[in-house]
């Protein structure tokens, strides 16, 4: 399953491309798709490290928390622990970019650790 991010700006030059060139572009863009949740978390975390406005930070922070919930099971315990520890480091290093994640992170950790035990 692929996960895509939507960008609102569509360059004018796309309408001038032939069908063949559009297919080439499409195939090139396929390599940019997030093919798993861990890769998607990495990308969203990288986006959060940029200077975003508050609305963008809220959107991406919620997305990180949503993705972490997907790892809150025994099967993904190692990935979950690695992602959470990385995010906690970023909360300390870059509080402006990652502070919105902090509160939700603790409740997801509680759920995950009870799932890991059970």
Concatenated DSSP letters of 30-86: HTTSB-SHHHHHHHHHHHHTS---HHHHHHHHHHHHHHHHHT-SGGGHHHHHHHHHH
pLDDT digits (tens, 9 = 90+) for 63-86: 999 999 999 999 999 999 999 999
Burial 1-33 (b: 16+ CB within 10 A, else e): eeeeeeeeeeeeeeeeeeeeeeeeeeeeeeeee
pLDDT digits (tens, 9 = 90+) for 21-65: 889 988 888 887 788 888 899 999 999 999 889 999 999 999 999
CA 89 to centroid of chain Cα atoms: 16
- Model's pTM, two decimal places? 0.75
Which phi and psi (to 5°) does residue 34 adopt? -75, 120
- CA–CA dist 17, 14 (Å, integer): 5
Cβ–Cβ under 8 Å, residues 73 and 115: yes
- Enumerate the domain spans of the chain: 37-117
């Amino acid at each position: 399953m692929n996960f895509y991010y939507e960008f609102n700006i569509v360059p004018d030059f796309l309408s001038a491309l032939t069908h063949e060139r559009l297919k080439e572009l499409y195939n090139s863009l396929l390599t940019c798709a997030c093919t798993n949740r861990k890769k998607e978390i990495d990308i969203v975390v990288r986006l959060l490290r940029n200077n975003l406005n508050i609305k963008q930070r809220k959107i991406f922070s919620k997305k990180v928390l949503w993705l972490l919930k997907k790892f809150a099971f025994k099967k993904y315990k190692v990935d979950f622990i690695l992602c959470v520890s990385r995010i906690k480091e970023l909360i300390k290093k870059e509080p402006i970019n990652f502070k919105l994640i902090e509160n939700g992170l603790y409740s997801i950790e509680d759920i995950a650790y009870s799932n890991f035990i059970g």
